[in-house]
Structure 1
Amino acid sequence: MARIAAPAPALPTTPAPPALGTMHMGTRLDERESFGLLDRFVELGGRWLDTSDNYYFDQDPSGLGGQSEAVIGRWLRANPGAPVRISTKVGAEPNRPGGFPDDLEGLAPDAVDRALSRSLERLGVDAVDLYWAHIEDHDVPFTQVVDTFGVLVADGRVRAWGLSNHPSWRLAVARLHAREAGLAGPSAYQQRFSYLQPLPGTEVEGQPVELGMLGADGLDLLRRDPALTGWVYTPLLRGAYDRADRPLSTEYRHPGNERRMKALAEVAGGRGLSRGQVALAWLTGGAPALVPIIGGSRIEQLDEAWRGATTVLTAEERETLDAAG
């Protein structure tokens, strides 16, 4: 019997909303700069703020994190009733200055409980809207991690939870175990991803591959399960799409990406957009529609990213981009 191919997933008519990355708030960005970006993001229509309890330990004299959450907390107190939702993470905060990446808080139940209490205090909220297991903890049974986060949802201190920098098979296991245990399973998955792709099997500059790259299996899982939301970080490759002073790192320099850059330039020229803006539109309007975490240190950078992420590409433009790679 001939196999009937499954229909291609329908493309969304509106893009997935971007989230605001706040990693550098409270360290590289002072309070005035941070508040300005937060204000502008909400003015544009943004709702999700993405942070972590370890942001950003590497830029603070203490060697520990929490600065980003603290700035967001002060902004929330200065803007009561602000229409935002909070996404924060646990697991990768160093236990001591210089402890990253070998001595981290991890995902043991007590460690997660303590970290969440500190995050809630810094943020000044009773619950976080989305709580991520930031990285894998190989010293804790994974089913125990699932139980820990599921109980936090049941307790009301967390409204939903997700997995960041975990292989996609962990996501499938987590959802199955949570269902059998009668607990809330992960509803979101966060990995690094962009239109340009590194050579398979190569180490990505500044981030070992094992920390989390969204691969074909993860994309397929997101396509098949509409209850899952895919978030992607470093969507603009730190400016490499458009900035001459930020060239692509070695693992991104290959013929496939040369073809993709030409396709980006073609679509961008026809739309009056930058290549990075088109890359964001490709992410938010695809199948699955992905939530890019956008950022920048200046208002104009945020405005440019927002325009790209909220642009809806035509079917012909997407065909041009997809056919390049």
Structure 2
Amino acid sequence: MDLTNYRTLGKSGLRVSPLTLGTMTFGEEWGWGSTVQESKEILKAYLDQGGNIVDTANLYTKGHSEKIIGDYLHENQVRRDGVVLSTKFYGNLYPGDPNAGGTSRKTIINSLENSLRRLQTDYIDLYWMHAFDEFTPIEETMSALNDLVVSGKVRYIAVSDTPAWKVAQAQTIAQFRGWSPFISLQSEYSLLERTPEGELIPMAQELGLGVMPWSPLKGGILTGKYTKESNGASLSGRLGNPDLPESTYVIIERLKILSEQKGTTVSAIALAWVMAMPVVTSTLIGARTIDQLNQNLASLSVALSDEEVGYLNEVSEPVLNFPIPFMRAGYHNGMGGTTINGKTSLISSILPKNSKEVY
């Protein structure tokens, strides 16, 4: 597989690469990240290899990430329609102004106009609600986004870091009103963060949203450079506490074993696991250097067998909230469940064993 193995995103005809270039590292305004020149080299390398989707946000490096992308596309006369530009609204770049962040109509329109200016384009291909705003009715947000799609300034809309129940509400309202729905979901997802399997991912499957995981290497922890012997001593910066639990080192050790067997890197195996999940459409990768980008792209040549996926799954099984444990207990205890489509159904499993028809 390579970056030109395009797939459609959710219930749409938008074709995207299996790896999406995330650009939160573009710019040094946050105290870490790539210089402008390094950022442009990373962007060039990704696009030259057939990658077609670049993800950013108005908030990233205080707007500089968007500007770097816009400058590169303009300076190199890159055909605009050949690139899927993905950016987000919600983040507040003007502290003290309550209307500069969130998901209100005013905020969305202002954020879009500023993003268009920095990206030097007249439309956004994929516009994301970056997070859940509890103070704005979702109907207002979806109405404003639909207006932007109708106007041609936005092609598709998507949602990130929002509870499953709120996304479902938004999709239902959009369907009822005849508005443009979300086509994709961004959520943190990796061998160290599998809780989306409880609600978010099943919701995305049911509603037809393409899943685009972020932080598939858990901020660099799954790159293999942190060992039990060092107790994560080299962890620093935005990751905070360097102490890692024993369970994390168990996963890292299994990744290392598989990487040695396959002659690749730990990070390539960790990324390959995410890409192997059938719900995943495109995985977000970030890189501060060309070397890091190439290490991430190496995952495209890694194919994990069902046995190898299971080998990693058994040490990374998430602890999910109710009702998932209850449902799984019903499956595993053999409470008279019925097999449907190859799976045990709880249609009868939740009944007492001595239940029988009375009437």
- The TM-score, its normalising length taken from structure 1, stands at 0.80
1:299–1:251 distance in 2 versus 1, CA, 3 Å: closer
Q: How does 1:207-286 map to 2 (within 5 A)?
A: 214-225=196-207, 227-241=208-222, 242-244=224-226, 245-246=234-235, 253-254=244-245, 256-286=247-277
SS of 1:77's equivalent in the other structure is helix
**Map of 2:177 onto structure 1:** 181
* RMSD between superposed Cα atoms in Å: 2.5
Aligned residues: 285
- Aligned partner letter, 1:314: S
Quote how far apart the aligned CAs of 1:30 are: 2.4
Which blocks of at least 5 consecutive residues in structure 1 are unaligned? 1-14, 57-64, 199-212
* 1:53 aligns with one of 44, 53, 58: 58
**Map of 1:73 onto structure 2:** 70
**Map of 1:8 onto structure 2:** none
User: 1:38 & 1:77 partners in 2: Cα distance?
Assistant: 13
User: 2:42 & 2:110 partners in 1: Cα distance?
Assistant: 29
**Map of 1:26 onto structure 2:** 27
Quote how far apart the aligned CAs of 1:195 are: 1.0
**Map of 2:150 onto structure 1:** 154
1:149–1:309 distance in 2 versus 1, CA, 3 Å: farther
**Map of 2:85 onto structure 1:** 86
Quote how far apart the aligned CAs of 1:243 are: 1.9
Q: Identity, % of aligned pairs?
A: 26
Q: How does 1:95-174 map to 2 (within 5 A)?
A: 95-96=94-95, 104-174=100-170
Which blocks of at least 5 consecutive residues in structure 2 are unaligned? 1-15, 227-233, 317-359
Quote how far apart the aligned CAs of 1:33 are: 1.0
SS of 2:133's equivalent in the other structure is coil
1:24–1:305 distance in 2 versus 1, CA, 3 Å: same
- Aligned partner letter, 2:50: G
Quote how far apart the aligned CAs of 1:217 are: 0.9
Quote how far apart the aligned CAs of 1:169 are: 1.4
Quote how far apart the aligned CAs of 1:143 are: 1.5
**Map of 2:292 onto structure 1:** 301
User: 2:251 & 2:151 partners in 1: Cα distance?
Assistant: 47
1:23–1:258 distance in 2 versus 1, CA, 3 Å: closer
User: 2:302 & 2:39 partners in 1: Cα distance?
Assistant: 25
- Aligned partner letter, 1:219: I
- The TM-score, its normalising length taken from structure 2, stands at 0.73
SS of 2:211's equivalent in the other structure is strand
